[in-house]
A and B are shown apart, each in its own frame.
Chain A
Amino acid sequence: MQRFLKETGLVVPLDRLNVDTDAIIPKQFLKAVGRTGFGANLFDNWRYLDRGEPGQETARTPNPDFVLNKPRYQGASILLARANFGCGSSREHAPWALVEYGIRAIVAPSFADIFYQNSLKNGLLPVVLPEDTVDRLFQAVETEVGYALTIDLRAGQVFAHGEEIGTFSIDPFRKECLLNGLDDIGWTLKHEAEIREYEARRRREVPWLFPPEGSRI
Chain B
Amino acid sequence: MGKTLYGKLWDSHVVRELADGTCLVYIDRQLVHEVTSPQAFAGVRARHRPLWRPDANLAVADHNVPTKDRALGISDPTSRLQVETLDRNCHDFGVSLFSMNDIRQGIVHVVGPEQGATLPGMTIVCGDSHTSTHGAFGALAYGVGTSEVEQVMATQCLLQKPSRTMRVRLEGTAPAGVGAKDMALAVIGRIGTAGGTGYAIEFAGSAVRALSMEGRMTLCNMAIEAGARAGLVGVDETTISYLAGRPFAPSGALWDQAVLAWRTCVTDPDATFDREWVIDVSDLAPQVTFGTSPEMVAPIDGQVPDPARETDPARREALTAALAYMGLRPGTAMVDVPIDVVFIGSCTNARIEDLRAAAGVIAGRKIAPGVRRALVVPGSGLVKRAAEAEGLDRIFKEAGFEWRDPGCSMCLAMNADRLESGERCASTSNRNFEGRQGAGGRTHLVSPQMAAAAAIAGRFVDVRQHF
Seen from chain A, the residues whose Cβ lies within 8 Å of a Cβ on chain B are 15-18, 20, 22-23, 26-28, 30-35, 45, 51, 54-55, 82-84, 87-92, 95, 110, 112-114, 117-118, 121-122, 171-174, 183-185, 187-189, 191-192, 194-195, 198-199, 202, 206-211, 215-217
Q: Name which residue of chain B comes closest to A186, CB basis.
A: B47
Do A173 and B22 touch across chains, with their CB atoms under 8 A apart? yes
CB-CB under 8 A from B43, the residues of chain A are 185
A25 to chain B, nearest CB (A): 11
CA gap between A174 and B19 in the complex, in Å? 12
Do B194 and A87 touch across chains, with their CB atoms under 8 A apart? yes
Do B159 and A187 touch across chains, with their CB atoms under 8 A apart? yes
Do B78 and A23 touch across chains, with their CB atoms under 8 A apart? no
A30-B35, A121-B147 are contacts. A195–B261 as well, Cβ < 8 Å?
no
CB-CB under 8 A from B197, the residues of chain A are 84, 110, 112-113
Interface string of B17-40 (1 = CB under 8 A from A): 011111010101100000110110
Do A31 and B79 touch across chains, with their CB atoms under 8 A apart? yes
Chain B contacts with A in 403-435, Cβ cutoff 8 A: 412-414, 431, 433-435
Do B434 and A22 touch across chains, with their CB atoms under 8 A apart? yes
Q: Which residue of A16, A118, A215 contacts B147 across the interface (Cβ within 8 Å)? A: A118
What is the size, in residues, of chain B's interface with A at 8 Å between Cβ atoms? Answer: 85
CA gap between A17 and B39 in the complex, in Å? 30
B49 to chain A, nearest CB (A): 9
User: CB of B151 within 8 A of chain A?
Assistant: yes
User: CB of B229 within 8 A of chain A?
Assistant: yes
User: CB of B318 within 8 A of chain A?
Assistant: yes
Seen from chain B, the residues whose Cβ lies within 8 Å of a Cβ on chain A are 15-16, 18-22, 24, 26, 28-29, 35-36, 38-39, 42-43, 47, 52-55, 58, 63-64, 76, 78-79, 81-82, 85, 94, 96, 117, 119, 121-122, 127-129, 143-148, 150-151, 154-161, 193-194, 197-198, 227, 229, 248-250, 254-255, 257-258, 261, 293, 314-315, 317-318, 321, 412-414, 431, 433-436, 439
Do B431 and A88 touch across chains, with their CB atoms under 8 A apart? yes
Write 18 A-B pairs (CB below 8 A) sorted by A numbering.
A83-B314, A84-B197, A89-B129, A90-B143, A92-B145, A113-B227, A121-B147, A122-B147, A171-B22, A171-B161, A184-B148, A185-B154, A189-B155, A191-B16, A195-B15, A195-B156, A198-B15, A216-B96
Do B145 and A114 touch across chains, with their CB atoms under 8 A apart? yes
Do B144 and A208 touch across chains, with their CB atoms under 8 A apart? no
Do A84 and B78 touch across chains, with their CB atoms under 8 A apart? no
B339 to chain A, nearest CB (A): 21
CB-CB under 8 A from A87, the residues of chain B are 193-194, 227
Do A84 and B193 touch across chains, with their CB atoms under 8 A apart? yes
CB-CB under 8 A from B435, the residues of chain A are 22-23, 26, 45
Residue among A87, A122, A189 facing the most chain B CB atoms (10 A cut-off): A87
CB-CB under 8 A from A185, the residues of chain B are 43, 47, 150-151, 154-155
A18-B293, A208-B119 are contacts. A88–B146 as well, Cβ < 8 Å?
no
A26-B435, A117-B145, A188-B157 are contacts. A18–B194 as well, Cβ < 8 Å?
yes
